[in-house]
Amino acid sequence: MADENSVRHLLEAAAEYGIDYRETSPDRAVSATPEAVAAVDEFIEPMPEDGVADMSVIAQLDEIGTPATVAMTGPRYFGFVIGGSLPVTVASNWLATAWDQNTGMHEVTPATATLERVAMDWMIDLFGLPADTSAAFVTGATIANFASLAAARNRVYNNVGWNVEADGLIGAPPVSVLVGEEVHPTVIKGLGLLGFGRERVVRLAVDGQGRIDARKLPTIDGPTIVCTQAGNLNTGAFDPVGEICDSVKPQDAWVHVDGAFGLWAAASPDRAPLCNGFQAADSWATDAHKWLNVPYDSGIAFVRDGPALKAAMSITADYLMTDTEFRNPSDYTPELSRRARGVDVWAALKALGKTGVAEMIDRCCRNARRFAAGLEAAGFPVLNEVVLNQVLVSFGEDAQTRRIIDAIQEEGTCWCGVTVWQGQTAMRISVCNWSTTQGDVDQSLDAIIRIAKSEVVDKPE
């Protein structure tokens, strides 16, 4: 009989809990019940003086934690922009966690560093980026934006003879940073962390979909970084990156693309035209935990000028094996010690292949259009051009829209979030999960329309 306390027994138990969770996710209510949420207070206790058995630790996690989760991995979670982790990536993640490789340096983690390199090359090819692009595997698009902009900072300062890594920003020449009015707040945060100032950026006017108008770009003078977007988090709209590059790159400006989810459009022949001209940019940030559907956390920064990224990120120390013919992952990332993120990305890309990635992207876009058509047919205006996987719908006055969203979340068939789009409160539906079917869309539409109509009739403003 297996030893109750063996590693095998413990890991098998955790796997069983995880498998049960994944098998039941599609059918359970998306939101946790108030009772389940209240029960998480049981976690709040003084740290035990003496430890408890490993198996009871895992059992308590499942007993209290599992019911209080929101079924983000399930097919009817349409909140924020959230992927659902493909089963193969959960499995690869478990195995990589068992390996526990600190993937900073190739020499000591040859398997995981190689997988990261392969995944990087595959994505560069998939997105049609320049073949010698460098990449950093980081926690998400927030840090991918930050890492890209750190490389940008290195390059634009280098162009004017200033070594920003060595000499810092005090006394440095000014750099102009241009962003669209609908820039994602994480880009602003990254700029703040890099010393460019959250308020000092110049905000460019956008159209009704949130796109920068390339014809209205100011004259570029001196070191400049222009931050563009592939996939606005509300509308899914794309900035005209090619036109922006044509206009500002002759003046040596660095063009960054925040493509947290939108960059994946480039992997679908059907959606790729949205990314026309993007390849001319200097850096691109994306997430794998959104549309590639790998487990949290996983994002990637791609930078055309690899030496600039390396100059911004690499460290040297006598005990580190940095002098190597291989690609050391941590030469490109803010972290030194790091989990083997590339493994999950590799597993997803290997299991899906190019056609599988394209099919997943197209399926989500088709389902988004199905949502939009269903809502319009029911008389609820869709506020955006549904070019990708994002749908914005209004249920009337702002307060009424908010009330209906609350009721939809509480009812639990599906989960959609609230947003304010250019002054108007709206419900945001983001179709990002590999497992969402037309049936899930129809089931969600039935619930949304039923709740919205009953709320409108029962509780007029």
Encoded one letter per residue, x for contact with ligand PLP by CB under 6 A and - for no contact, window 182-221 reads --x-x-----------------------------------
Single residue of 104, 140, 180, 236 touching ligand PLP by CB under 6 A: 140
Give the three-state DSSP class for 376. Answer: helix
Binding of ligand PLP by 138 (CB under 6 A): no
Binding of ligand PLP by 375 (CB under 6 A): no
Binding of ligand PLP by 275 (CB under 6 A): no
Binding of ligand PLP by 265 (CB under 6 A): no
Choice between 105 and 212, CB closer to ligand PLP: 212
Residue 415 DSSP symbol:
B
Query: How many Cβ atoms sit within 10 Å of the Cβ of residue 66?
Result: 16
Judged by CB under 6 A, which stretch of 93-101, 135-143, 160-168, 322-330 contacts ligand PLP? 135-143
| 163 and 174 Cβ atoms separated by less than 8 Å | no
Binding of ligand PLP by 75 (CB under 6 A): no
Query: How many Cβ atoms sit within 10 Å of the Cβ of residue 33?
Result: 12
Give the three-state DSSP class for 127. Answer: coil
| 312 and 154 Cβ atoms separated by less than 8 Å | yes
Encoded one letter per residue, x for contact with ligand PLP by CB under 6 A and - for no contact, window 49-68 reads --------------------
The residue whose Cβ lies closest to ligand PLP is: 140
Encoded one letter per residue, x for contact with ligand PLP by CB under 6 A and - for no contact, window 155-184 reads -----------------------------x
Query: How many Cβ atoms sit within 10 Å of the Cβ of residue 90?
Result: 20
Burial of 422 (0-12, 13-18, 19+ CB in 10 A): middle
Choice between 228 and 425, CB closer to ligand PLP: 228
Binding of ligand PLP by 305 (CB under 6 A): no
Longest alpha-carbon distance in the chain: 76
Q: How far apart are CA 241 and CA 332, in angstroms?
A: 25
Choice between 14 and 81, CB closer to ligand PLP: 81
Binding of ligand PLP by 299 (CB under 6 A): yes
Residue 163 DSSP symbol:
-
- Rounded alpha-carbon distances, angstroms, from residue 316 to 54, 147, 310, 324: 39, 18, 11, 12
Choice between 109 and 433, CB closer to ligand PLP: 433
Binding of ligand PLP by 256 (CB under 6 A): no
Residue 297 DSSP symbol:
S
Binding of ligand PLP by 142 (CB under 6 A): yes
Q: How far apart are CA 53 and CA 59, in angstroms?
A: 10
Residue with tokens 């509300």: 234
**Side-by-side strand order, sheet with 176-180:** 134-138, 299-303, 283-287, 254-258, 224-229, 176-180, 202-204
Single residue of 81, 96, 266, 308 touching ligand PLP by CB under 6 A: 81
Judged by CB under 6 A, which stretch of 63-71, 123-131, 255-263, 350-358 contacts ligand PLP? 255-263
Binding residues with ligand PLP: total (CB under 6 A): 14
Choice between 283 and 413, CB closer to ligand PLP: 283
Single residue of 32, 124, 141, 365 touching ligand PLP by CB under 6 A: 141
Closest CA to 235 of 255, 256, 268, 207: 207
Q: Is the dihedral of CA 57, 59, 62, 67 positive or negative?
A: negative
Single residue of 116, 239, 282, 287 touching ligand PLP by CB under 6 A: 287
Phi-psi bin for 202: left (phi > 0), alpha (psi -120 to 50), beta?
A: beta
HSE, side-chain direction, 13 A CA sphere, residue 15: 14
Binding of ligand PLP by 274 (CB under 6 A): no
Judged by CB under 6 A, which stretch of 106-114, 159-167, 247-255, 256-264 contacts ligand PLP? 256-264
Binding of ligand PLP by 233 (CB under 6 A): yes
Binding of ligand PLP by 258 (CB under 6 A): yes
Quote the tokens at residue 51: 């430890």
Choice between 139 and 425, CB closer to ligand PLP: 139
Binding of ligand PLP by 328 (CB under 6 A): no
* Interacting residues toward ligand PLP by CB under 6 A: 80-81, 140-142, 184, 186, 231, 233, 258, 260-261, 287, 299
